[in-house]
Amino acid sequence: MDIIINSLYTKKEVFIRELISNASDALDKVRFIAVQNPDYMGETTDLEIKIDYDFDAKTVSITDTGVGMTKAELIKNLGTVAKSGTTAFLEAMGQGESMSMIGQFGVGFYSSFLVANKVEVTSKSNDDEQHIWTSTADAKFFVTKDPRGDTLGRGTRITLHLKDDAAEFVEQEKIKNLVKKYSEFINYPIKLYLSKDVKETIEIEDEVDEEGKVNEDGVEITDEEENTEKKEKKTKEITKQVWEWETLNDIKAIWLREKDDLSEREYNDFYQTITKDH
């Protein structure tokens, strides 16, 4: 784990790329299985990736509606580092392979520990109940049945409890820009839970004393004057903070777009994405 966390990556932010890539792979598997077995999708029919964060708790979560993992798969895929291709990767590094090939060896998940001192993976497979895998990168992990029951329907939710020196990743603009940067050519919607300020106009009610209705100057008003004032209700503008899901990526595949609309850079970026070759 020390080798992976401290030696393989030069930028902490790549955890976003690796986890989005893993989520996309899990969604690909669902789509493939559903071709032969349409009932496999059940009630979870939307194939998507959702990212949310908690500024106060310093957590970032990435949720997908992919195949999910059973308890046995959580132990095999996440609990045993060597099983996920680390040995093959290190052998390739010894033979002078490019560091950018890491994604092909299945060790990208462990980039989570670049920024997190604790990682929780909640997963629900069609073949098992929902379980939670938890580790603090100290050679120990725990897998327990989720006491909340089936909250995902199907899929996986990874929650990163960020280190103090990685608190920047719960800043809205920072995470928004990173998700946009690393979501190119992902063929599923990637949604980020964002806050924004919305202006709203509300009516202002005049105060009423115990003896009767008064205007803003404190003078009692008659029924006739009251009817006139009703037509001229006072308003003021307030600012409210609202939270909503925003889709950040253009999910139309590059090969479905008009050639004239594509730039040389888009071709190069796409090539680098699918080949890990620069």
Mean pLDDT for 132-151 is 91
> What pLDDT sits at residue 102?
43
Confidence band of 224 (pLDDT split at 50, 70, 90) = low
Structure tokens at 74: 């959580």
Tell me: do 167 and 208 sit in the same domain. no
Instruction: Provide the domain limits for residue 102.
Output: 2-189+249-275
Tell me: do 145 and 271 sit in the same domain. yes
Structure tokens at 76: 């095999």
Mean pLDDT for 125-146 is 91
Tell me: do 140 and 210 sit in the same domain. no
> What pLDDT sits at residue 245?
87
Distance, CA of 161 to CA of 59 (rounded, Å): 5
**Residue type at position 241:** Q
Which residues have C-beta within 8 Å of that of residue 269, sequence separation ≥ 6? Answer: 184, 185
Contact 143, 75 (CB under 8 A): yes
Element of type H or E holding 54: strand 49-54
Radius of gyration of the chain (CA): 26
Which is it for strands 208-209 and 155-162: parallel, antiparallel or unpaired?
unpaired
Please provide the average confidence, as pLDDT, over all residues in the chain. 80
Which is it for strands 190-204 and 49-54: parallel, antiparallel or unpaired?
parallel
> What pLDDT sits at residue 68?
93
Q: Inform me whether the pLDDT recorded for 22 exceeds 80.
A: yes
Tell me: do 164 and 201 sit in the same domain. no
Q: Inform me whether the pLDDT recorded for 101 exceeds 50.
A: no
What domain count does the chain have?
2
Contact 239, 198 (CB under 8 A): yes
State phi, psi for 277 to the nearest 5 degrees.
Answer: -125, 130
Confidence band of 220 (pLDDT split at 50, 70, 90) = low
Tell me: do 77 and 167 sit in the same domain. yes
Contact 236, 202 (CB under 8 A): yes
Q: How many CA atoms lie within 13 A of 144 on its CB side?
A: 8
Tell me: do 202 and 128 sit in the same domain. no
Tell me: do 149 and 256 sit in the same domain. yes
Structure tokens at 271: 């090539």
Mean pLDDT for 94-105 is 49
Lowest-confidence segment of 3-7, 26-30, 46-50, 218-222 by average pLDDT: 218-222
CATH at residue 169:
3.30.565.10
Element of type H or E holding 145: strand 141-145
> What pLDDT sits at residue 195?
84
26/213: higher pLDDT = 26
Which residues have C-beta within 8 Å of that of residue 25, sequence separation ≥ 6? Answer: 66
Contact 251, 186 (CB under 8 A): yes
> What pLDDT sits at residue 139?
73
> What pLDDT sits at residue 99?
44
Tell me: do 133 and 154 sit in the same domain. yes
Tell me: do 220 and 100 sit in the same domain. no
Tell me: do 131 and 177 sit in the same domain. yes
> What pLDDT sits at residue 104?
43
Tell me: do 114 and 204 sit in the same domain. no
> What pLDDT sits at residue 183?
80
pLDDT in tens, 162-216: 999 999 999 889 999 998 888 877 888 999 998 887 887 788 775 554 455 555 5
Tell me: do 230 and 107 sit in the same domain. no
